[in-house]
Amino acid sequence: MTEMRIAPLTADNVVAANALTLKPGQEAFVAPVSHSIAEAYVNQETMWPRVVEADGNIVAFIMATFNEEAADELYRATILRMNVDATQQRRGIGRFAVDAVVDEAVNRGFDQVVAVWEDGDLGPGKFFTAMGFEIVGETQYGEVIGIRKIS
């Protein structure tokens, strides 16, 4: 794999982001990218939607939220969704995308990043724990809450 690049979601890459695929069974663990795009559009102040480019192709989408005034501390610096294309998984792209969120959180002065995910065999739990997220509990909807301290 050549160099990866993180870039804002724009009119030029939104169609490619929306066309990212999932492996069978993974759709239960992440909302379609189109939902995230809509959410980012209506919450432009707080959402941080990004794509990962590699070899000139869009290979992943990640959306975080940054809002130090969020009433719920779960959603102050938080990875909400991510999707590495089915054909590109297990090549370090997810790690690169999470590192980009962590860098952004550091630049904004946060001392931790939260991730919230659905538990399950085909879910992202092993990925997030490998990325340094420590499981601290679950949401009222039964989703796993992981925290990665960054200071």
Ligand X SMILES: CC(C)(COP(=O)(O)OP(=O)(O)OC[C@H]1O[C@@H](n2cnc3c(N)ncnc32)[C@H](O)[C@@H]1OP(=O)(O)O)[C@@H](O)C(=O)NCCC(=O)NCCS
Binding mask 91-110 for ligand X (x = CB under 6 A): xxxxx---------------
Q: What tokens were used for 20?
A: 């990212």
| Contact with ligand X (CB under 6 A) among 81, 102, 105, 148 | 81
d(CA 49, CA 82): 10
Q: Where in 24-63 is the site for ligand X (CB under 6 A)?
A: 26, 29-30
Verify binding: residue 65, ligand X, rule CB under 6 A. Answer: no
If the CB atoms of residues 11 and 63 are measured against ligand X, the closer one turns out to be 63
Q: b or e along 10-43 (b: 16 or more beta carbons within 10 Å of the residue's beta carbon)?
A: eeebbebbeebebeeebeebbeebeebbebbeee
DSSP class of residue 143? Answer: -
**Complex with ligand X: residue 109 or 145, whichever CB lies closer:** 145
Q: Which residues pair with 54 in a beta bridge?
A: 4, 57
Binding site for ligand X (CB under 6 A): 22, 26, 29-30, 81-84, 89-95, 117, 123-124, 126-127, 130
